[in-house]
Every structure is written in structure tokens, then in C-alpha cells.
Amino acid sequence: MHVPDGFLNLPTSVVTGVLAAGAIGVALPVARRESLGERKAPMVGMVATLIFATQMLNFPVGLGTSGHLIGGALAAVLVGPATGLLCISVVLIVQAVFFADGGLTALGTNILLMGVITVVVGWGLFRLVIAVLPARKWSVPVATGVGGLISVPVAAAAFSVLFAIGGQAPVPFEALFLAMTGWHVLIGIGEAVISALIVAAVMATRPDLVYGARFRRTRRPESEPASVAEEASA
């Protein structure tokens, strides 16, 4: 879904750019609160790397085409929504500049679609689901999967709206909307599976590093291993 340069007209790019910059502006101070302690920096960098690397892996969706992970829900659960948005933004900037994957002038659009929307939707659903699931090891991966599953078609729907407003050519909106959303439901399944697997893997080895685990129902954060407690007390 990486939108290249020239895909949308200039006014659309400018407006999405302003929105994305605003979202990052909001996320910056919040992220500082999410990531207390010097030990967080490597984890945040690692999550950005993980998302970058998994975005390069394409999984088959059918009809000979493939999709790739977007990672909004995943990032939000691993390091918190605001920090997660920063991670995805960095991934998109690096992809645009180093690999021309997604346009430079379309950065705002891409951050809005793949960062802000997937993080907000993914994290919101995660919080809803985690609030009703029992406090088990698997509940965090499952809630992440649900967030990932829905966040992708929502982003695709938003893309269709943007294209209808500022696309290079008029295309029947309904057809585009249905095609994009339907297609991305399939991609969302891949997103859900991969995100859940990754979160489960991290939960198995370093549960203290998973931000979303703080929101499990009954078990309190203080039952988490020392380093979280240590950071929280700082």
C-alpha cells in the first residue's frame, strides 16, 4: 500500500502531510511518557527493525499476488501506541529515502494510512479485546491479532477515500472501495497471524518488554519481572 510520488494530487498530499505531522507532534511527548528508562531505546529500535524486515517479506494472498505486514497493531502492543507510531513513521521514511518504497511527497499520506490509522485502530481494538480476555499468556497475542486483522482493511478503505478525493484519474468509488477493502481483509489475516506470532514469541522470552502486557486483566504489572518495575519507579 506504499503510495508513490505523484499518485495523489498535491493538495491531498499537503493535507495528509499536515495531518501526519500533527499526529507525530502529539505522539512525541506521549512517547516520552511511554518509554521511561534508557533500556527502552534498543527495544524501540528493534521494533522498528522488525517491522522494516517483515514489511520486506511478502506472503501470498492468492491469485498470484501477495501482501506484506504493515505492523501498526504490532508496534503499538510492543512499545505503546505513540512510540509505535514513531517507529512506523521512521520505517516509512527510511523506505522512502533508501528504497524508494513509497514516495517522498507521499510520506504524509503513507504515515497517515499505515501509521496513524493502523495504530489507532489496532491499539483501540487491542485494548477492547484485552479488557475482556482472561489474564493468560495467549491473550496478548490474540488481542494483537484482532487489532491487526481489522486495522488493515480500515486503512485500505481510507486509501480508497483519498484516491477518490485526490487521485490522478476518476475511478468508480464503490468498485475501488470494495476491491481494496475486500482484498485487504485477506491481507489482514496474514497481518493478524504474523503479529500474533511475533508478540507470542516476545512474550515467551521477554514479557517485560511488551508494553501491551500491562493491560492484561487481573495480573498486575508488579508481577512483571524486575526491569519494568525498575523503569516504572524511575
Partner 1 sequence: MPAGISIQGLRYAYPDGTPVLDGVDLEVAPGERVAVLGRNGAGKTTLMLHLNGVLMASAGSVRIDGTEISRATVRDIRRRVGLVFQDPDDQLFMPTVAEDVAFGPSNFGSTGEELEARVSAALTAVGLEDRGASSPQRLSLGQRRRAAIATILSMDVDVVVLDEPTSNLDPTARRELSGTLAGLDSTIVVVTHDLPYALELCPRSVILDGGRVVADGATRDLLADAELMRRHGLELPWGFDPSIVDELHS
Partner 2 sequence: MTAVADPSNRWGYHPGSTPLHRLSPRTKLVALLLFAVIVVATPREWIPFYAAYAVFAVIVLAVARVRAGDVLRRLTIEIPFLIFALLLPIVATGPRVDVLGFSLSVSGLWGAWAILAKATLTLAMSIALVATTEPGRVVLAFGQIGLPRALTSIMTFMVRYLDLIVAESHRMRIARESRGFDAHGVRSWGILARAVASSFGRAHARGERVHLAMVSRGYDGGS
What residue 53 binds from partner 1, partner 2, none (CB within 5 to 8 A, per partner kind)?
Answer: partner 2
Among 18, 22, 26, 28, indicate the residue that binds partner 2 (CB under 8 A).
28
Site mask for partner 2 (CB under 8 A), range 107-146, x = bound: ----------------------------------------
Q: Which range of residues in 1-9, 115-123, 137-145, 188-196 is near partner 2 by CB under 8 A?
A: 1-9
Q: Which range of residues in 103-111, 113-121, 127-135, 184-192 is near partner 2 by CB under 8 A?
A: 103-111
Binding site for partner 1 (CB under 8 A): 205-206, 208, 225-227, 230, 234
What residue 208 binds from partner 2, partner 1, none (CB within 5 to 8 A, per partner kind)?
Answer: partner 1
CB of 189 to partner 1, least distance (A): 27
**Contact status: 231 vs partner 2 (CB under 8 A):** no
3-state secondary structure the chain: CCCCCCCECHHHHHHHHHHHHHHHHHHHHHHHHHCCCCCHHHHHHHHHHHHHHHHHCEEEEECCEEEECCCHHHHHHHHCHHHHHHHHHHHHHHHHHHHCCCCCCCHHHHHHHHHHHHHHHHHHHHHHHHHHCCCCCCHHHHHHHHHHHHHHHHHHHHHHHHHHHHECCCCCHHHHHHHHHHHHHHHHHHHHHHHHHHHHHHHHHCHHHCHHHHHCCCCCHHHCCHHHHHHHCC
Number of chain positions touching partner 2 (CB under 8 A): 52
CB of 202 to partner 1, least distance (A): 13
CB of 226 to partner 1, least distance (A): 6
Question: How far, in Å, CA of 83 to CA of 126, rounded?
Answer: 16
- Residue 168 vs 227, nearer CB to partner 1: 227
Among 18, 128, 131, 201, indicate the residue that binds partner 2 (CB under 8 A).
201
Binding interface with partner 2 (CB under 8 A): 4-7, 10, 13, 24, 28, 31-32, 35, 37-46, 48-50, 52-53, 86-87, 89-91, 93-94, 96-101, 103-105, 167-172, 175, 201, 205-206
